[in-house]
Amino acid sequence: MVNINIVLKISHSFTFSGIGPRTQMQDAGLFRKIPRQNKSWSIVCDGIGGQPGGAEAANICVSEYDKFLSTSLARKMVANTIDFLKLGMLPVLDAFYNHVQHNETHEHMGCTFALAYLENDQAYFCWCGDSRIFLFRKGKIKFKSLPHNPSFDNYREGQISLKQAEAKKTNIITRSISVDTAFPILECKQMKIESGDRILVCTDGVWNKLTQKDLLSLASSANLNITVKLIEKKLEGIADDNYWGWVGEVK
Question: Length of the chain in residues, anyone?
Answer: 251
Residue 224 — φ and ψ, nearest 5°? -65, -35
The stretch 76-82 carries a mean pLDDT of 87
Is pLDDT above 60 for 130? yes
pLDDT at 132 over 80: yes
Segment 221-248, tens digit of pLDDT: 999 999 999 999 999 999 999 999 999 9
- pLDDT at site 5: 63
pLDDT (mean) for 117-131:
97
What percent of the chain is predicted at pLDDT more than 90? 86
Dihedral class, residue 53 (left if φ above 0, else alpha if ψ from -120 to 50, else beta): left
- Please tell me the predicted confidence (pLDDT) of residue 112: 98
Nearest to 138 by CA among 249, 237, 7: 249
- Confidence band for 181, pLDDT divided at 50, 70 and 90: confident
Q: Per residue, what are the HEC states of the chain?
A: CCCCCCCCCEEEEEEEEECCCCCCCCEEEEEEEEHHHCEEEEEEEEECCCCCCHHHHHHHHHHHHHHHHHHCCHHHHCCCHHHHHHHCHHHHHHHHHHHHHHCHHHCCCEECEEEEEEECCEEEEEEECCCEEEEEECCEEEEECCCCCHHHHHHHCCCCCHHHHHHCCCCCCCCCEECCCCCCCCEEEEEECCCCCEEEEECHHHHCCCCHHHHHHHHHCCCHHHHHHHHHHHHHHHCCCCEEEEEEEEC
CATH match of 10-250 with 3.90.480.20: no
Phi then psi dihedrals of residue 83, to 5 deg: -60, -40
- Model confidence at 48: pLDDT above 70: yes
- 141: region left, alpha or beta (phi > 0 left; psi from -120 to 50 alpha): beta
Q: Are 163 and 155 in contact (CB under 8 A)?
A: no
pLDDT average, residue stretch 195-216? 97
Instruction: Name residue 216's beta-bridge partners.
Output: none
The C-alpha atoms of residue 181 and residue 50 are separated, in whole angstroms, by: 17
CB atoms within 10 A of CB 232: 17
Question: Does the pLDDT at position 12 exceed 90?
Answer: yes
Q: What is the mean pLDDT of residues 213-218?
A: 97
CA 7 centroid distance within chain: 23
Name the residue with higher pLDDT: 89 or 73: 89
Mean pLDDT for the chain overall: 94
Q: pTM for the whole thing? A: 0.95
Residue 176 near residue 111, CB atoms below 8 Å: yes
35 vs 173, more confident? 173
Q: Is 45 exposed, middle or buried (0-12, 13-18, 19+ CB in 10 A)?
A: buried
